Structure 1
Amino acid sequence: MFVDPPAPQPLQPGETPPASANNGLPSPDAVTSWEFNPDYQRLVMMWRQVLPVLDTLTGSLDKAYQLARSRDVWDAPVSGRYVEDMTEWRTRLSLYRQAILTSISDQAADTPRWVPVKAGAPHAFS
């Protein structure tokens, strides 16, 4: 079983944009307006949409797997093959979950949380 990678963190109450680098001299160009990166926010929302679906799939397959392993439900020689098949499905689902969540997490790590308002900075979905 894998551990989920870190989730992208949404904008926290009271979180402020980074401080502008100021060398002590006032300049009209020194003031930068920042906004929370909408592409980063999309990654946060994507994580929140995908995680419950993956949890539902995992829970459903785990329940079926436990029932298939129980001799109260099925006590036939062929049941062993189905249990082996379900074990493979569980492994594949774990790998699939890990790949999806890692992809979102990695993209969030590469996407800045804050961007200047008028910057044409590259974003995750550009």
Structure 2
Amino acid sequence: MYVDPPAPKPRDPNETPPVSASGALDDPQRAWEFNPDYQRLVVAWNTVLPQLEALRTALDKAYGLAKSPQTWDAPVGERYVQDIREWRNRLAVYRHNVLTTISDEAADTPRWIPTTANAPHAFQ
């Protein structure tokens, strides 16, 4: 059993961009925007997770039915139970890989990026 990695956090309506003006030479007029690449990772996570949950639920239901003595009364039933168990394991590994990839990419992607839109410039 795998534990899901941390999900990328969507932008909070009260969240403000980082303040970079820490010294006299810093540009206090720098404009920031929420990184669209980071937002795509949030959307990807929110799209993939329900689909993976639906697959897991379907396989868990099939596994539960397959293990039931009322479903199989022949020795061949155990082979199907083992197949479904293997599919569940593969799905768990796949889920872990997909969610870890999204989470790692989100950890390496800045939430805010500097932009030149609506920023005053002396020369254009």
RMSD between superposed Cα atoms in Å: 1.6
* Corresponding position of 2:44: 46
Identity %: 61
Structure 2 gaps of 5+ residues are 118-124
Q: Distance in 1 between matches of 2:115 and 2:73?
A: 65
Q: Distance in 2 between matches of 1:72 and 1:5?
A: 38
Paired AA for residue 10 in structure 1: P
Aligned partners of 1:17 and 1:34 also within 8 Å = yes
Runs of 4+ in structure 1 off by over 6 angstroms are none
Paired AA for residue 102 in structure 1: T
Q: Distance in 1 between matches of 2:105 and 2:25?
A: 36
* Corresponding position of 2:11: 11
Matched residue of 1:112: which SS?
A: coil
Q: TM-score, normalised by structure 2?
A: 0.89
Aligned partners of 1:40 and 1:111 also within 8 Å = yes
Q: Distance in 2 between matches of 1:26 and 1:118?
A: 18
Q: Distance in 1 between matches of 2:79 and 2:116?
A: 60
Paired AA for residue 72 in structure 2: W
Report the alpha carbon displacement of residue 22 of structure 1 after superposing the two structures with TM: 2.5
Q: 1:13 to 1:78 in 2, by over 3 A?
A: same
Give the alignment of 1:18-57 within 5 angstroms: 18-23=18-23, 25=24, 29-57=27-55
String of CA shifts for 1:67-94, please: whole Å, max 9, x gaps: 0000011121000011111111110000
Aligned residue pairs: how many? 117
Report the alpha carbon displacement of residue 26 of structure 1 after superposing the two structures with TM: 7.1
* Corresponding position of 1:111: 109
